[in-house]
């Protein structure tokens, strides 16, 4: 898979761990930065770059890291076709892909450490969408909410 990656200054400390994990799993990385923790940057700029790659199909999925993960998740979910989940545990990272067809993983570097970040990344990368009728029905309703603002 092609994985878009982005982080802001608050997520930078997890960047090398996440990139190493993606690479070790045999996936291609499209790195949108940021490249240091010292210069404060605006997370929506980086969220947009990674999610735009998913929207354009230049990337299959994206991983975005900010300080808490909340801002990244909020911003990502504003973009059409993006299903972003804030995950700080193994179960949510794979279940979000399987049941909810999540295509963007958001994490908070100030919430989790390196080992958990690595585990969550692997769970997200290894998960496959479940196309059972109940999950397809539910995701159809989510798309209606995105498109029309109601069911």
Tens of pLDDT, residues 11-54:
999 999 999 999 999 999 999 999 999 999 999 999 999 999 99
pLDDT for residue 107: 98
pLDDT for residue 33: 94
Ranges of H-type helices in the chain: 15-24, 43-55, 70-76, 90-98, 114-126, 133-148
Domain ranges of the chain: 2-148
pLDDT for residue 72: 98
The CATH number for 2-148, chosen from 3.40.50.720, 3.40.1400.10, 3.40.50.980, 3.20.20.70, is: 3.40.1400.10
Question: Phi and psi (nearest 5°) for 21?
Answer: -65, -45
pLDDT for residue 22: 98
Residues belonging to the active site? 66, 99
pLDDT digits (tens, 9 = 90+) for 109-143: 999 999 999 999 999 999 999 899 999 999 999 99
Show Cβ contacts of residue 19 under 8 Å, excluding neighbours closer than 6 positions.
5, 29, 31
Convert 114-133 into a string of H (helix), E (strand) and C (coil).
HHHHHHHHHHHHHCCCCCCH
pLDDT for residue 135: 93
pLDDT for residue 62: 99
pLDDT for residue 96: 98
pLDDT digits (tens, 9 = 90+) for 60-77: 999 999 999 999 999 999
């Amino acid at each position: 898979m092609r994985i878009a990656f982005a982080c802001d200054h608050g997520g930078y400390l997890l960047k090398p761990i996440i990139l190493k994990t993606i690479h070790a799993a045999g996936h291609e990385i499209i790195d949108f930065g940021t490249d240091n923790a010292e210069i404060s940057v605006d997370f929506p700029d980086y969220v947009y770059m990674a999610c735009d790659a998913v929207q354009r199909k230049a990337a299959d999925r994206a991983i975005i890291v900010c300080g808490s993960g909340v801002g990244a998740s909020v911003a990502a979910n504003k973009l059409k076709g993006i299903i972003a989940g804030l995950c700080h545990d193994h179960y949510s990272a794979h279940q979000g892909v399987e049941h909810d067809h999540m295509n963007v993983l958001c994490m908070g570097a100030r919430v989790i450490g390196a080992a958990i970040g690595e585990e969550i990344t692997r769970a997200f990368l290894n998960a496959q969408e479940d196309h059972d009728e109940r999950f397809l029905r539910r995701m159809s309703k989510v798309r209606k909410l995105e498109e029309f603002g109601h069911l």
